[in-house]
Amino acid sequence: MARTGAPTSTLPTTGPARMRSGTMGMQFSESGTRWKGTGQDRWWLGYHPAGMTCLGPTTLVLCALASAPGVAAELELLSVGVRGRVGEKRVLGKEAPESFRAFDVVASFRLPWQRYSASGWGVGTRLVTSASVLQGAGETALVVSAVPVVAFGSEDGRFTFDFGAGLALVSEHRFAQQDFGGPLQGALTFGAGIPLYRQFGVGYRFQHYSDAGAYGPDSIGVDFHMVEVTYRF
């Protein structure tokens, strides 16, 4: 038997949609979702479409590899290395008020999804993790990151080109005139590596940290150009 007199709830078909539950509200809009204020007017600070634009290609390739009849391998340590990097004054089109330096230790792990031909060339996936010391405007911060990447090249990792997107945590996000917005940052990267001597290799890496607008329109991230030296296992 259908109940009568029951309250109904209708969400608008255009503009931001708002949903309340107790003392908590949620707003969906074109700029993502946000927590704002307290009580009935508290919003969730969520994703931003700009960040999803960069995550899209990586996600599509990972899904294709996962569904394909490729060769599965266990998670294993592929290489370790060190990086030295200098921050750009421009951050994906924005002018950065501060300059940064960073020094990293990095470890790369082979992920299960890969497809290589009999010649040893193909595509695979990696998890690139790093811990770094970030210096700028007289401040020093610790940054840890985990970035899954899609890697094209040789199966042994001697020749490789990769790109991916992940997350980073920074212990300090305010550097004088420049504010990253908050401790959780999106991390975008691409890089290339070649053999140097026996198990050692050398490479170039670009890395971008930003909040994709999640903490507000005034936050500015940072771009880095890095030289890295790695040791392959």
Q: Using alpha carbons, select from 182, 180, 152, 181 the residue that is nearest to residue 164.
A: 152
**53 and 41 fall within a common domain:** no
State how many domains the chain has. 2
Q: What is the pLDDT of residues 154-196, one digit of tens each?
A: 999 999 999 999 999 999 999 998 999 999 999 999 999 999 9
**15 and 117 fall within a common domain:** no
User: What is the domain-level CATH number for residue 203?
Assistant: 2.40.160.20
**98 and 119 fall within a common domain:** yes
**56 and 148 fall within a common domain:** yes
Q: What is the pLDDT of residues 43-69, one digit of tens each?
A: 333 334 444 444 454 555 455 544 444
Q: pTM of this prediction?
A: 0.67
Sequence-distant (6+) residues with CB within 8 A of 125 are 62, 65, 110, 111, 112, 113, 114, 148, 149, 150, 151
**123 and 17 fall within a common domain:** no
**Domain of residue 16, residue span:** 1-46
Percent of the chain with pLDDT strictly greater than 70: 64
DSSP readout, 113-159?
EEEE-TTSEEEEEEEEEEEEEEEETTEEEEEEEEEEEEEEEETTSSS
In the 8-state DSSP scheme, what is residue 40? G
